[in-house]
Structure 1
Amino acid sequence: MSATKQSVAFNIAKPVQFLALGFGSGLAPKAPGTFGTLAAIPLFLLASGLSPLVMAAVIVIMSVAGIYICGKAAEEVGVHDHPAIVWDEIVGYFITMFMVPVTIQTILVGFVLFRIFDILKPWPISLADKKLSGGFGIMFDDILAGIFALVIMHIIF
């Protein structure tokens, strides 16, 4: 069994793991990244009324905190970028939706675009995914996927 697919005992009672697991959404038995991105939607909707400057600050804080959160959770379970660690998907979705009008259509299109870039990992996302390690490595490929999706969102909408 590969290191990323192995059964790992997460402890959701630990705040860092609770956040890293996307409030538990990353524990879904299939497609944890998709469930992590789904968990981002209500959080994004709660934050969607913030000014662009405040939202940018929230995204930066979530990203920097995510380096620690994802790195620490991976270290605690001994698996780099375990699929259940989905804080990076939450941040990636927030980036995807930055300064995009909030409608049911944009929420769905943003979700699909982010998942496509996160799953397919076109260059340079694939390079970041392969070459970077630790919490920064876990976060950075999803930050790039979010940026790619954001650009497409702004072209479309």
Structure 2
Amino acid sequence: MSDKTVLTPEQRRVLLATPAGWLACGFGSGLAPKAQGTFGSLAALLPWLLLRTLPVQLYVFAVVVAFVIGVWACGIAGRLLGVDDHRSLVWDEFVGLWIALLPVLAGPWWGVLLGFVLFRLFDVWKPWPIGLLDRRLKGGVGVMVDDVVAGLFAAIVLDVVLVLLR
């Protein structure tokens, strides 16, 4: 498949027929016709509402486990689709957003909105080294790592904003 945006009905079926594909496409949120990353990030807010109730150490552990599972799932799903980092694979958005929202686990509601916007900005803009990682790394690791770094950038900026506004 050469087009990174359009899935055939058969590709959608194959993706949703496997646990790895189901997870990699963010429980179906990555199958939106446009703005798959944004839909994946929005869907990531639902489990985040549960994750945010965990102690910070367990939250970080859960994010690390989600990253490792994402490398596996996105690697398999990419091979099933024949595209390393297809737009429908949005588990990386889940993990990246959860990293971005680390500073607002007990923060104000507007911090969640700002974290979401910052994460999407860094994920789309891909400043150095995010763009370099996106181009160089392949497979499941390549799908996941650039969004982890985008999440880290967003978390740093969000934390600075929160500190300045205290």
TM-score (norm 1): 0.95
Q: Distance in 1 between matches of 2:151 and 2:71?
A: 16
Give the CA deviation at 1:2: 4.3
Of 96, 106, 111 in structure 2, the residue corresponding to residue 106 of structure 1 is 111
What runs of 5+ residues in structure 2 fail to find an aligned partner?
none
Q: Retained in 2: the 8 A contact 1:48–1:102?
A: no
Of 56, 60, 65 in structure 2, the residue corresponding to residue 56 of structure 1 is 60
User: Does the alignment pair 1:10 with 2:15?
Assistant: no
Q: Distance in 1 between matches of 2:80 and 2:108?
A: 39
User: Does the alignment pair 1:122 with 2:124?
Assistant: no
What runs of 5+ residues in structure 1 fail to find an aligned partner?
none
Of 54, 71, 75 in structure 2, the residue corresponding to residue 71 of structure 1 is 75
Q: Distance in 1 between matches of 2:74 and 2:101?
A: 22
More helix per residue: 2
Q: Distance in 2 between matches of 1:55 and 1:16?
A: 22
Q: Retained in 2: the 8 A contact 1:28–1:35?
A: yes
1:19-58 C-alpha deviation (Å, 9 max, x unpaired): 1111100000010000000001111011111001000100
Q: Distance in 1 between matches of 2:22 and 2:7?
A: 17
Q: Distance in 1 between matches of 2:37 and 2:148?
A: 14
SS of residue paired to 1:123: coil
Of all paired residues, the percent bearing the same amino acid is: 45
Whose Rg is larger? 2
TM-score (norm 2): 0.90
- Aligned AA (2:7): S
Give the CA deviation at 1:71: 0.7
User: Does the alignment pair 1:86 with 2:111?
Assistant: no
Q: How does 1:30-49 map to 2 (within 5 A)?
A: 30-49=34-53
Give the CA deviation at 1:77: 1.2
Aligned length: 157
Distance verdict in 2 for CA 1:13–1:102, change over 3 Å: farther
